[in-house]
């Protein structure tokens, strides 16, 4: 089954077009019917360009191509934003507290959490405790190295920052929280982590005190019922 032409293919052909040639016309003769649904037009629209010179066809194709590219780009941005937000929720729900450390899933932390390129930073808010902020581009660089090299990666947060360990702690990196530039403060992904739940032990009310018996009598009394 032949491959359907893509918007990238059309863009490449447009860049190669030259005045007083019919390369675009030849392209549409071959691919026009399959290209039409990609551009969101009827095949007859593209057939009407066949036979014309490139300089006459190119502006028409650019006018069809540009809104489709922008729509796909906006769709991709929205998809990546949802993916990162979903990862933030999953990361928060899978944390494990050990002492003053919050252990994070490194595959989420260095994977889908970084999907949205519109985020300038990732902020980890530990409610009523501390906050750690890391630039997203920096975490992307870290992910490119650590996730390819180590399959036993461990990550945690504490009051000092973000930490990574591998090879049973023989290798590691420590990153302190970073200051976010005022111009970037509105472009961040915020991950809210709840502190560990402290179980309140409720003691039962004291039983009424029994009358005191001499120790010998009590031992004897218990022995009679054994």
- Taking only Cα atoms into account, the Rg of the chain, rounded to an integer number of angstroms, comes to 33
Short-list 10, 15, 16, CA closest to 30: 10
**What would you measure as the largest C-alpha separation in the chain, in angstroms?**
121
pLDDT one digit per residue (tens) for the chain, 226 residues: 567 788 999 999 999 999 999 999 999 999 999 999 999 999 999 999 999 999 999 999 999 999 999 999 999 999 999 999 999 999 999 999 999 999 999 999 999 999 999 999 999 999 888 999 999 999 999 999 999 899 899 999 999 999 999 998 899 999 999 999 999 999 999 999 988 765 555 566 666 665 544 434 433 323 333 3
Q: Rounded to whole angstroms, how far apart are CA atoms 95 and 122? A: 16
Q: Rounded to whole angstroms, how far apart are CA atoms 13 and 27? A: 8
- Could you identify the residue written with the tokens 């796909």? 72
What pLDDT, on a 0 to 100 scale, did the predictor assign at position 224? 32
3-state secondary structure of 97: strand
pTM of the model: 0.72
Model confidence pLDDT, tens digit, residues 9-59:
999 999 999 999 999 999 999 999 999 999 999 999 999 999 999 999 999
Q: What percentage of the chain's residues is helix, strand, coil (to nearest 5)?
A: 45, 20, 35
What pLDDT, on a 0 to 100 scale, did the predictor assign at position 187? 95
What pLDDT, on a 0 to 100 scale, did the predictor assign at position 220? 32
* Beta strand pairing call for 96-98 and 101-104: antiparallel
3-state secondary structure of 180: coil
Yes or no: say if 65 and 11 are a contact pair by the CB < 8 Å rule. yes
């Amino acid at each position: 089954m032949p491959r359907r032409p893509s918007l990238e293919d059309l863009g490449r052909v447009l860049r190669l077009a030259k005045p007083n040639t019919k390369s675009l016309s030849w392209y549409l003769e071959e691919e026009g019917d399959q290209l039409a649904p990609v551009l969101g037009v009827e095949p007859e629209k593209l057939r009407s360009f066949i036979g014309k010179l490139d300089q006459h066809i190119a502006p028409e194709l650019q006018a069809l191509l540009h809104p489709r590219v922008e729509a796909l780009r906006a769709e991709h941005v929205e998809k990546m934003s949802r993916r990162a937000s979903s990862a933030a929720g999953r990361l928060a729900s899978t944390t494990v507290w050990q002492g003053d450390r919050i252990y994070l899933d490194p595959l989420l932390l260095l994977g889908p959490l970084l999907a949205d390129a519109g985020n300038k930073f990732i902020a980890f808010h530990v409610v009523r405790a501390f906050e750690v902020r890391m630039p997203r581009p920096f975490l992307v660089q870290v992910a490119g190295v650590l996730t390819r090299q180590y399959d036993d990666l461990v990550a945690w947060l504490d009051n000092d920052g973000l930490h990574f360990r591998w090879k049973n702690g023989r290798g590691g990196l420590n990153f302190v929280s970073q200051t976010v530039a005022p111009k970037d403060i509105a472009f961040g992904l915020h991950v809210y982590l709840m502190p560990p739940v402290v179980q309140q032990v409720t003691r039962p009310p004291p039983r009424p005190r029994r009358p005191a018996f001499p120790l010998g009598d009590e031992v004897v009394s218990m022995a009679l019922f054994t």
